[in-house]
């Protein structure tokens, strides 16, 4: 089986990091945890495309409970397993273009389910729609740009302040915080919109530099 160092190098190469450089910081720690947790899935030879469906399944369960602690745990778990499919694919040497497309589609569905949980908790639909528009604009722009730029782009190696892990953590923390302070979800939603807007500006600036 591929060891941890090999996995991190492979992940970095697949996600646009330049030769000799690797993912670092919190993202590196997150990937290291993924590597350790997916070993049973690798040994059982479960398809990465099947593993991809675990996250939206957990996020869907969050819509069928009113217990905010359970909702927070389900969202956190759906976030944690988000990288499992990619880890399994890399370790088993099963990465594919279809797998990348499938993962991107399911990621957006899972995030929409997180937003659905916020809606059920009483957050304004108009406000949530605005967040979804900003998130979708950034992610569609990322996908479109990388399709156009292909291998000449280092875009995937640049991280904005509000990538998918941050979004999931914000929502989960909002539900946890609401157990203590009732307006926590409202404030977290505002923080998400502000951070996501800044991230979109970062992304646009990055694209402009790449296209010059």
pLDDT band at 10 (very low <50, low <70, confident <90, very high): confident
Per-residue pLDDT tens digits for 129-144? 999 999 999 999 888 8
- 172 in Cβ contact with 178 (< 8 Å): no
**pLDDT 10s digits, 92-129:** 888 888 888 899 899 999 999 999 999 999 999 999 99
The alpha carbons of the chain give a radius of gyration, in whole angstroms, of 17
Predicted local confidence at residue 155, as pLDDT: 47
Full set of structural domains in the chain with CATH: 4-211 (1.20.120.1760)
Q: pLDDT band at 23, cuts 50/70/90?
A: confident
The DSSP 8-state label assigned to residue 15 in this structure reads T
Q: Answer yes or no: pTM beyond 0.75.
A: yes
Phi-psi bin for 93: left (phi > 0), alpha (psi -120 to 50), beta? Answer: left
The percentage of residues in the chain with a pLDDT greater than 90, rounded to a whole number, is 56
Tell me, what's the pLDDT at 200?
95
pLDDT of residue 25: 81
């Amino acid at each position: 089986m591929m060891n941890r160092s090999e996995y991190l190098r492979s992940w970095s190469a697949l996600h646009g990091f330049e030769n000799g450089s690797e993912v670092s910081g919190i993202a590196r720690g997150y990937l290291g945890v993924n590597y350790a947790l997916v070993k049973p899935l690798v040994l059982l030879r479960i398809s990465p495309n099947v593993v991809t469906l675990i996250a939206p399944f957990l996020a869907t369960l969050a819509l069928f409970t009113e217990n905010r602690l359970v909702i927070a745990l389900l969202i956190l778990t759906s976030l944690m397993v988000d990288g499992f499919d990619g880890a399994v694919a890399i370790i088993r040497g099963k990465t594919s273009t279809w797998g990348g497309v499938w993962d991107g589609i399911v990621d957006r569905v899972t995030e929409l389910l997180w937003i659905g949980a916020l809606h059920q908790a009483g957050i304004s639909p108009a406000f949530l729609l605005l967040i979804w528009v900003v998130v979708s604009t950034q992610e569609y722009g990322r996908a479109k740009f990388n399709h156009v730029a292909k291998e000449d782009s280092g875009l995937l190696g640049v991280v904005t302040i509000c990538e998918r892990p941050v979004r999931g953590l914000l929502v989960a923390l909002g539900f946890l915080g609401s157990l203590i302070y009732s307006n926590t979800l409202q404030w977290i939603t505002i923080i998400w919109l502000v951070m996501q807007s800044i991230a979109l500006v970062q992304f646009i600036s990055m694209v402009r530099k790449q296209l010059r």
